[in-house]
Amino acid sequence: VEAILFAMGESVELGQIAKAIQQDKPTTEKLLHNLMDKYKDEGRGIQIIELPEVHLPDNPSRAQIDAALKKEADAVRQKLPKNAWLCIFTPEGKLLSSEQLAEKLDQVRLGGKSDLVFLMGSSFGIDSSLKAQGDFRLSISPMTFPHHLCRVMVLEQLYRAESIQAGAKYHK
């Protein structure tokens, strides 16, 4: 799946992934969720919280988008642990290597933060007030990827960061 997505160089819809791996959409979505669950279930201290999507019409107005982003931001704020370090995934964020991410997370923990939150917004982005609330802005890539794959990529990088900090050779 990843090879297909990286070769495309643009956003790939779930239907395209399903077609490429010769599965139906529900099966493909389940496979991608299984990849996410793998990281969550292996006792790595990673917790995934998915909030309900705010559904918009096919061609939403700017006002509808802004209202949905505000509603999402309010829901996120309700779930944030008090005094958590908040990393916002955004295209204008900083690009880091796996080693640099490991170093950044180590610095955050040494700074006294035990709750680290990584936030990925909707396809319309993240409310500007919530972005401003973040402690760090991180970019996955300058390319566009479907959210399902981004979640897996983020989990993989968090696992790699932990492996690097532990001195394991997994990250190579």
Task: State the distance between the two ends of the chain, measured CA to CA, in whole angstroms.
Answer: 20
Q: Count CA atoms within 13 Å of residue 169 on its CB side.
A: 0
> For residues 171 and 145, which has the higher predicted lDDT (pLDDT)?
145
pTM for the full predicted model: 0.72
* 48 pLDDT above the threshold of 70: no
Element containing residue 23 per DSSP (H, E): none
Q: What confidence score (pLDDT) does residue 125 get?
A: 86
Strands of the sheet with 85-94, listed across from one edge: 116-120, 85-94, 136-138
Taking Cα atoms as reference points, which of 85, 104, 107, 84 lies closest to residue 94? 104
Maximum CA extent, the chain: 50
Q: What confidence score (pLDDT) does residue 2 get?
A: 40
* 168 pLDDT above the threshold of 60: yes
Confidence of residue 19 (pLDDT cuts 50, 70, 90): confident
